[in-house]
A and B are shown apart, each in its own frame.
Chain A
Amino acid sequence: MIDPMDFLLWTKGPMFDWAIAIFALGMLARLVEIFMLGRKPNYAEPRGGEWGPGFRTIFTRSVADAGTFQRAPFNVVIGTVWHVGFFIALLLFIPHIELIYSVLGIRWPGLPNPVVDAVTAITILAMIGALIHRLRNPVMKHISTFEDYLVWTVTFLPLITGYIAYHRMIDPYPLALGLHILAAEIFLIVLPFTKLTHMFTVFIARWYNGAIFGRKGVAS
């Protein structure tokens, strides 16, 4: 029989430290490598700035263009919904803000619990929708790898366990909370070594894209 309180304290204590350590180590190793490698020097005369277009592209590429939307409206809508929902739940739930404050020393205002709760429910549904779509669409199914399903699972678990813990659907509560924390830790550990790194690299990549085009004097 597992002791729920021991389990909770293990997930909050040693396991949390391990997860944070692996996450920080892996993620920084990757980012520093990316930045240090940089890009090949471009000796051509610049026809425009890099910074402005770089940041502009971060935004423009975050919004699907009309063509993409027409081709895959489901992907765009569902994808946007659950990405935004995931970040609202992660960053604007008061207990999470307290946690981040205790680790990083920075804090911001949160949303009322019922709002986060509703957003979480929508996010969970959207993620399930995305999975069903992936399984039923022949092309999606064909190009999906083991990693895609792994990444879906480790992203889904913190959401569903968080929802269960908030609604106290598992008794006793320390067990429910411990499961949620463990799920988040698995997410953190897996993050630097899978395509989840796009959480950090996506904006860097978009900036580079924009910067390259900007330098060439074309719009992206």
Chain B
Amino acid sequence: MAHHKTLGESLRAHGVSRRGFLKFCAATASMMALPPTMTPAIAAALEQARRPSVIWLSFQECTGCTESLTRSHSPTVEDLILDVISLDYHHTLQAASGEAAEHAREVAMRENFGNYLVVVDGSLPGPDSNPGYSTIAGISNYQMLMETLEGAAAVVAVGTCAAFGGLPQANPNPTGAVAVQTLAGDKPVINVPGCPPVPMVITGVLAQYLTFGKLPEMDQYNRPLAFFGQSIHDRCYRRPFYDKGLFAETFDDEGARAGWCLYRLGCKGPSTYNACATMRWNAGTSWPVEAGHPCLGCSEPKFWDAGGFYDALSVPPGDTGSTLLAAGVSGAIIGGAAAALAKRRQKADLAERQPVKIDELEQKL
């Protein structure tokens, strides 16, 4: 079946010309955030690439990541990629449901044991939590993940929930949600965080795995460096304003209108690693900072619990004002008590004072 065709063959079967293939490779290089000089290497690799089987699991999620994926800004390329990777199981996108759907998953697992790719969006209740918080076809998320991981070559955690726990894990984490990587054991994990991730980044990571058949270079959070290697701040076109110290202070002041830096309005760009500033959103139209809104830091762990979205990065998330007041008052009381004590001692000493005259002293000697 098509599973055994190389990508080159299946593209030709689609009637794609040599120049079309090159164009496809150029677009793929751009999508993978690789320089155009890599196009020939990509062409060579894609020519040989085989169609891997992909099982997509959706756990405690909002479907935003899948929505994002289906809005990837290069439908031709994405269609081809999705055509080429065989999405054997995806709740939202597959036609089958119920028993038939689960059957498809089992078949895909059996036939491609050891070689298929698992994609997960959403976090899941950990092994110690009540499994009833999230189940699919009566199977707990935990059980389904562990079963599916067994024969997987690698797992891609799409979205901040799957990668870092995300919203379900935010304080107080009622479902005991955990990230995929905490359960993956020694299976390689690629994290593609974002709430949701940039669509092109999802397809880009999948394309990269498909093209080169190996894990990309990753940072310490297992995020592919090609997309998450640089911070928003480092690639932000508003950076010159930050460097000059020109900041918008409200959303409608002169600075906001002139497009100045959004740091004071809460921009988390300096501590956030993502591709928004170059890949942009909505078919490359714009991105949050360009639209005048500070970066929320959505591709970082704990971003829901990291303080107010509209508080500057330097502002602590807690209520430090009252800590300061309480500590100050207690300090004042302690200081007051210490002073009172010292004064009391002074007074007591004064009361017990026995003046000695000089001749008395001389007599004593």
The answer to A–B direct touch (Cβ < 8 A) is yes
Which residues of A sit under 8 angstroms from B307, Cβ to Cβ?
12
Q: Tell me the interface secondary structure of chain A in the complex.
A: helix
Cross-chain contact of B245 among A8, A37, A94, A172 (Cβ < 8 A)? A94
Q: Would you give 17 A-B contacts (Cβ < 8 Å), ordered by A? A: A3-B301, A5-B301, A9-B317, A16-B316, A16-B318, A23-B327, A28-B329, A29-B332, A96-B314, A98-B312, A98-B314, A102-B312, A102-B315, A102-B316, A104-B321, A168-B270, A172-B273
A residues 153-198 near B (Cβ < 8 Å) are 168, 172-174, 177
Q: What number of A residues sit within 8 Å (CB to CB) of B?
A: 50
A residues 37-96 near B (Cβ < 8 Å) are 37, 94-96
Q: A111–B246 Cα gap in the complex (Å)?
A: 10
For A112, the closest partner residue in chain B by CB is: B245
Which residues of B sit under 8 angstroms from A99, Cβ to Cβ?
312, 314-316
When A and B form their complex, which 8 residue pairs have the shortest distance between CB atoms, in order from nearest?
A112-B245, A32-B335, A28-B331, A36-B339, A29-B335, A95-B314, A24-B327, A98-B312
- Count of chain A to chain B residue pairs whose CB atoms are closer than 8 Å in the complex: 147
For A114, the closest partner residue in chain B by CB is: B243
Q: A102 and B301: CB pair below 8 A?
A: no
Q: Given A5-B302, A20-B323, A172-B219, do A26 and B314 touch, yes or no (CB 8 Å)?
A: no
Cross-chain contact of B320 among A17, A96, A111 (Cβ < 8 A)? A17
For B321, the closest partner residue in chain A by CB is: A103
Proximity bits, B296-331, A CB within 8 Å = 1, else 0: 000011100111000111111110110110111111
Q: Given A9-B317, A17-B318, A113-B245, do A37 and B342 touch, yes or no (CB 8 Å)?
A: yes
Q: B335 and A28: CB pair below 8 A?
A: yes
CB of B87, distance to nearest CB on chain A (Å): 32
Q: A95 and B312: CB pair below 8 A?
A: yes
Q: A35–B342 Cα gap in the complex (Å)?
A: 13
Residues in chain A within 8 A of chain B (CB atoms): 1, 3-6, 8-9, 12-14, 16-17, 20-37, 94-96, 98-99, 102-105, 110-115, 168, 172-174, 177
Q: B318 and A26: CB pair below 8 A?
A: no
CB of A88, distance to nearest CB on chain B (Å): 13
With A28-B334, A32-B331, A174-B271 given, can you name 12 additional A-B contacts, CB distance below 8 Å?
A6-B302, A9-B305, A24-B323, A28-B327, A31-B335, A33-B342, A95-B314, A96-B314, A105-B321, A114-B245, A168-B231, A173-B233
Q: A32–B316 Cα gap in the complex (Å)?
A: 28
